Amino acid sequence: MLEMTVMIVGVMLCIALVLNLWRLIIGPDIVDRILALDTMYINSIALILLYGIYNQTPLYFEAALLIAMLGFVSSVAFGKYLLRGDIIE
Amino acid sequence: MSFYTELLISILLLSGGVFVLVGSIGLLRLQDFYARLHAPTKATTLGLGGILIGSMVYMYHLQGYVSINELLITLFLVITAPVTAHILAKVAMHHRVKLIERTSNQDIVEIARKQLPVKVSNSSQKSHLKGTDHEV
C-alpha cells in the first residue's frame, strides 16, 4: 500500500512541478517568476523526501535541508536585488 | 510495519501531496500577483508539513529513533516562508505590479510606496521637521 501511495504522491508532485514551470515561463512580471522558482524549490524538497521514503534511506534529509537553505537565500537575494539594485550594500 | 502505520503514513503523504498540488494550481490559475502569492505559501506550510511528518513517522519505524533533521527542515521552512512572501510582496509593490480592479484600499498603495525614499534621501529635512514638531 505504501509503495502505491508513494507513486501517487510522486505523480501529484510532478504535476505540481510542471504547473510551476508553466507559471515560470508565462509569468507576466519578474516577481511571478521568482515566486514560481521559490515554489519549485519547495516542491523539489517534497519530491526528494518522497524519494527517500521510496529508497528506504534517511540519506536525503541533508539534501532537502541544503535545498531549503539555498532556495531561501536565492529568493531573498533576488528580492533584494530588485528592491535596491544591489544585494549586499 | 503494521497496517495502521502504513495507513497513517499514507494519509499524511496523500494530504501533503493534495495540498502541494492545490497550491501549484492556485499559482497558475489566480488572477493577480498578490492573489498568486497567497497560494503557494499554504502549500509550503501544510503540504510540505504533511509530507515531512509522514517521512518522520516512516523513518522512526525504519530506524527506531527520531532524527533531528526532519524537525530542522520543518522549523527552517516555517521560519523562512513568511520572510520570502513579505520580501516578494514588497518587491511587487515597489515595481508597481498591476492589481485587479476590485482590490480594496488602492489609494493606500501610493502612500505606502512613497514612505521608503523619503526616509532614506531627505535626512536633513527629517531632522528639521523633528526640530519643529517634537519639541512642543
**Rounded to an integer, what distance in angstroms lies between the CA atom of residue B120 and that of residue B124?**
10
B43 contacts: CB under 8 Å, gap ≥ 6: A16, A39, A42, A43, B19, B20, B22, B23, B24
A2 neighbourhood in chain B, CB within 8 Å: 1, 6, 9-10, 58
Indicate whether A87 belongs to any domain: no
With an 8 Å Cβ cutoff, are A75 and B67 in contact? no
Which domain does B73 fall in, by range?
Answer: 3-96
Residues B11-27 pLDDT 10s: 999 999 999 999 999 99
Indicate whether B136 belongs to any domain: no
Indicate whether A88 belongs to any domain: no
Task: Measure CB to CB from residue A65 to each of B16, B54, B73 and give the nearest one.
Answer: B73
Indicate whether A71 belongs to any domain: yes
Residues A35-89 pLDDT 10s: 999 999 999 999 999 999 899 888 888 888 899 999 999 999 999 998 888 877 7
Domain count, chain B: 1
Handedness of CA B34, A40, A56, B15 (dihedral sign): positive
Indicate whether A26 belongs to any domain: yes
CA-based nearest residue to B97, from B85, B107, B84, B88: B88
Q: What is the pLDDT of residue B20?
A: 92
Indicate whether B132 belongs to any domain: no
Which domain does A37 fall in, by range?
Answer: 2-82
Residues B70-113 pLDDT 10s: 888 888 888 898 899 999 998 988 888 888 888 887 777 777 77
Domain count, chain A: 1
With an 8 Å Cβ cutoff, are B70 and A17 in contact? no
Indicate whether B60 belongs to any domain: yes
Q: What is the pLDDT of residue B122?
A: 47
Q: What is the pLDDT of residue B120?
A: 46
